[in-house]
Structure formats: C-alpha cells, structure tokens
C-alpha cells in the first residue's frame, strides 16, 4: 500500500504542476503495479484528456468507475493549486448533479477569488441552502436536544451508564453542528449577498 500511496502522491505532484509527461509515466507505473486501483486509472484518463487525447482517456475513465466523485475530489484538490482547472471540473460535476450545493458554493468561491463577480453570482444563485440548513443545522440540533432530554430522564430513573452514552452522543452532535453548520450558514449568506 505504501508503494501505491507514494506513486499516487508523485502523480499528483507532477499533475498539479502540469508536468504531464512525468505524471503519465508514474501513472503507468501505478497501473502496472495495481491495475484495479481506480484512482490510477482516473488520473491516467485526466492526464490523457488534458493533453488532447480524449478518445484514449475514455477507456481509462471506464476502468476508473465513478467519474462524478473523482472529478469532484479533483476539483476540490485543485482549488488552491490551479483554480482554472478546478473550475473546469466543478462545472462538469455541476452538469451531472445540478442540485449539489457544495459544487455551486465551491465554484462561486473560486469565481469570487478570481474576481469574476458575475460568474460568482451565477453560481451562488444556484444554491438552495434550505436543504443544507435542515440537514446540517436543524437535524443535528434536534437530535442533540432529544438526546439531552433522554439523558436527563434516564438520570432521574437511575440509569447512569446509558445516560452517559446518550450524553456523549449529544456532545458529538455539537461537533457535527460546528463542522457542517458553518458551511450551511455561509451558503445562506452568499446566496443573499449575490441576489
């Protein structure tokens, strides 16, 4: 596994710098070592496509599996290293899943950083933050409240062990809220800002 991780890391390092010849050579090594490793197949496909060999790339994409998830992850990885390529891949996955708020949020932020206000506006206007607010704030908050109520009732009944487990679960909901709730609120803010 260490060999695969090292090869993958080397491919990505060269790919981010657009050193396609080196990246492709290492991708070929990775595929030779582990032909079933989907990320190796995917990166080979991306390199081929970005170097004008789209037809050849397609056979590697077929072996890679879920292009949507892999393109989304690649776009997220490229956000700082190469925003233009990140935009390209976010736009692709946006066509595949126009209801995914994270695509439009990340794409809007990229356009905003690049000073493309109209493109940022178009991306942020595609956000539907209600579902993210419900899933990332309301739901964990509801679970947390119910668990604290349940733990309180259990303590009154003398069930301290179960109450401790339920309380610990409620505390995990706080971390869930902290991690995901901020993003949902930022989506609401961006949608309003760019109306």
Asked if 43 and 77 sit in the same domain, the reply is: no
Tell me how crowded residue 115 is: count the other CB atoms within 10 A of its CB: 8
Are residue 74 and residue 28 in the same domain, yes or no?
no
Do 71 and 49 share a structural domain? no
Clarify whether residues 97 and 53 are in a common domain.
Answer: no
Residues 1 and 51 in one domain: yes
Return the number of other C-beta atoms located less than 10 Å from residue 31's C-beta: 18
Query: Rounded to two decimals, what is the model's pTM?
Result: 0.82
Asked if 109 and 157 sit in the same domain, the reply is: no
Query: pLDDT value at position 59?
Result: 94
Are 98 and 151 found together in one domain? no
92 and 103 in one domain? yes
Q: Is 167 found in the same domain as 149?
A: yes
Of 109, 127, 145, the one marking the end of a domain is 127
Tell me which residue of 79, 62, 190, 173 sits closest to 128, measured CA to CA. 190
| Residues 3 and 33: beta-carbon distance below 8 Å | yes
What's the pLDDT score for residue 31? 94
Q: Examine the domain organization and report whether 133 and 188 are in the same domain.
A: yes
Instruction: Kindly report the CATH number assigned to the domain that includes residue 31.
Output: 1.25.40.10
User: How many domains does one find in the chain?
Assistant: 3
Query: Does one domain contain both 11 and 23?
Result: yes
Boundary of a domain, candidates 39, 65, 91: 65
- Give the residue from 85, 103, 127 where a domain finishes: 127
Separation between Cα atoms, residue 12 and residue 81, nearest integer Å: 11
Sign of dihedral through CA atoms 25, 31, 33, 38? positive
Q: What was the pLDDT predicted at 101?
A: 95
| Per-block mean pLDDT, blocks of 10 residues, the chain (195 long) | 87 94 95 92 96 95 93 94 94 95 96 95 94 89 91 92 92 86 92 92
Predicted local distance difference test score (pLDDT) of residue 20: 96
Contact partners, residue 183, CB within 8 Å, separation at least 6: 102, 105, 132, 136
| pLDDT attached to residue 108 | 97
Residues 6+ apart with CB under 8 A from 102: 183
Range of the domain at 138: 129-193
Cβ(39)–Cβ(13) under 8 Å?
no
State residue 164's pLDDT score. 93
Could you give the C-alpha distances from 63 to 41, 59, 73, in angstroms and in order? Answer: 6, 7, 17
* Same domain assignment for residues 1 and 61: yes
């Amino acid at each position: 596994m260490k060999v695969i991780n090292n090869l993958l890391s080397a491919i990505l390092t060269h790919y981010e710098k657009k050193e396609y010849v080196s990246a492709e050579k290492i991708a070929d090594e990775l595929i030779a070592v582990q032909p079933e490793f989907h990320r190796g197949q995917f990166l080979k496909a991306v390199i081929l496509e970005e170097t004008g060999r789209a037809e050849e790339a397609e056979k590697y994409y077929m072996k890679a599996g879920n292009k949507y998830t892999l393109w989304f992850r690649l776009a997220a990885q490229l956000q700082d290293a190469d925003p233009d390529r990140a935009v390209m891949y976010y736009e692709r996955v946006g066509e595949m899943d126009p209801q995914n708020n994270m695509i439009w949020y990340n794409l809007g932020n990229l356009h905003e950083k690049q000073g493309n206000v109209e493109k940022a506006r178009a991306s942020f206007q595609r956000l539907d933050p209600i579902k993210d607010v419900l899933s990332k704030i309301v739901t964990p908050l509801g679970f947390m409240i119910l668990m604290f109520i349940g733990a309180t009732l259990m303590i009154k009944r003398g069930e301290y062990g179960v109450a401790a487990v339920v309380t610990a679960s409620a505390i995990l909901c706080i971390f869930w809220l902290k991690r995901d709730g901020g993003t949902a609120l930022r989506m609401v803010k961006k949608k309003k800002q760019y109306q």
